[in-house]
Structure 1
Amino acid sequence: MAVPAVGSAAPTGSVADHLVSLTGLRGILALTVFGAHFYLAFTMAGGTLDTPFVQDVFRVLFSRSGGTAVSCFFLLSGFVLTYIARPEDSATSFYRRRIAKIYPVHLVSTAIAFTLVSVRYEVPGPKVSLSHVFLVQDWVPSQWYYLTMTGLDWSLSCEAFFYLCFPVLLLVLTRARTWMLYTVPACCVLLVFTLPYVVGHTFSLTHPDPMEMVPTGAYGGPIGYWFAYVFPPMRMLEFVIGIAMALLVRRGAWRGPGVALSLLLCAIGWGVNLRLGSYLPLAAGMVIPFALLIAALSRADIGATWSPLRWKPLVWFGELSLSFYVTHLLVQEELFSRLWNVGMDAGLLPAPLPVLSWWVAVLSFVAQFVLATTAAWLLYRLVELPMLRKLRPKGVSPLPVAQSESPALPAGEARTASAPNSSDLVEK
Structure 2
Amino acid sequence: MTPPPPGVRRLPTLTGLRFAAAALVLLGHLNLSPAFVPPARIAVSFFFVLSGFVLTWSARENDPLRRFWRRRFWKILPNHVVTWGLMLAVVAVSGLPASPALPPGATPPASAVANLALLHAWFPATTLLSSVNPVSWSLCSELLFYALFPAILPLVLRIPARRLGVAAAAVVVLTWLVPVAALLFSGPVHVPGSPGMPVSQYWFAYYFPPSRLPEFLLGMVLARMVHSGLLPRIGVTVPSLGIGVLLAAATAALPLHFTFAAATIIPVALVVLGAAAMDVRGVRSFWNLRATVFLGEISFALYLVHPPVIVAYNRLVGGPSRAAIGVAGTGLVLATLCLLAAWALHRFVERPLMWRFGSGRAFATSRDTVRALAKSGPARL
Q: Which bracket does the TM-score occupy, shorter chain normalised?
A: 0.7 to 0.9
Question: Residue in 2 aligned with 1:194?
Answer: 177
Aligned match of 1:148 in 125, 128, 131?
131
The equivalent position to 2:157 in structure 1, one of 155, 174, 194, is: 174
| Counterpart residue number, 2:378 | none
Q: Is the contact made by 1:178 and 1:253 (CA closer than 8 Å) also made in structure 2? A: no
Corresponding residue for residue 339 of structure 2 = 373
Q: Which residue of 2 aligns with 1:115?
A: 89
Quote the residue 2:23 is aligned against. Answer: 31
Higher helix share: 2
Q: Which residue, 212, 216, 221 being the options, matches 2:198? A: 221
Provide the rounded CA distance (Å) in 2 between the counterparts of 1:274 and 1:200: 16
How far did residue 84 of structure 1 move?
A: 1.1
Tell me whether 1:124 sits opposite 2:90 in the alignment. Answer: no
* Residue 95 of structure 1, CA deviation: 0.5
The 3 A distance-change label for structure 1 pair 258 and 108 is closer
Residue 273 of structure 1: how far off its partner (Å): 4.4
Q: Is the 8 A contact 1:216 1:222 kept in 2?
A: no
Range with greater deviation from structure 2 (110-119 or 294-303): 110-119
Larger radius of gyration: 1
The answer on whether the counterparts of 1:173 and 1:181 sit within 8 Å (CA) in structure 2 is no
Change (3 A) 1:266 1:175: same
Could you tell me which residue of structure 2 aligns to residue 94 of structure 1? 68
Equivalent residue in structure 1 for 2:299, among 309, 313, 321 = 321
List aligned pairs for 1:311-390, cutoff 5 A.
311-341=289-319, 343=320, 350=323, 360-390=326-356
Verify the 8 A CA contact 2:71 2:357 in the aligned structure 1.
yes
The structure-2 alpha-carbon separation of the partners of 1:280 and 1:256, relative to structure 1 and needing over 3 Å to count, comes to farther
In structure 1, give the amino acid aligned to 2:26.
F
Match of 2:80 among 93, 106, 123: 106
Distance (Å, rounded) in 1 between the aligned partners of 2:236 and 2:199: 38
Contact map agreement 2:232 2:277 (CA 8 A) in 1: no
- Equivalence for 1:49: none
Q: 1:268 to 1:384 in 2, by over 3 A?
A: same
Contact kept, 8 Å, 2:182 with 2:257, in 1: the verdict is no
What one-letter code is carried by the residue in structure 2 that aligns with 1:380?
H
Aligned residue for 2:186? Answer: 204
**Cα displacement (A) at 1:136:** 1.2
* Cα distance, 1:399 vs structure 2: 5.2
**2:100 alignment partner in structure 1:** none
Q: Residue 124 of structure 1 aligns to a residue in which SS?
A: coil
Unaligned runs of 5+ in 2: 96-103, 365-381
Q: Report SS of the residue matched to 1:141.
A: coil
Determine if contact 2:28/2:37 at 8 Å carries over to the other structure: yes
Give structure 1 stretches of 5+ with no counterpart. 1-6, 43-57, 352-358, 402-428
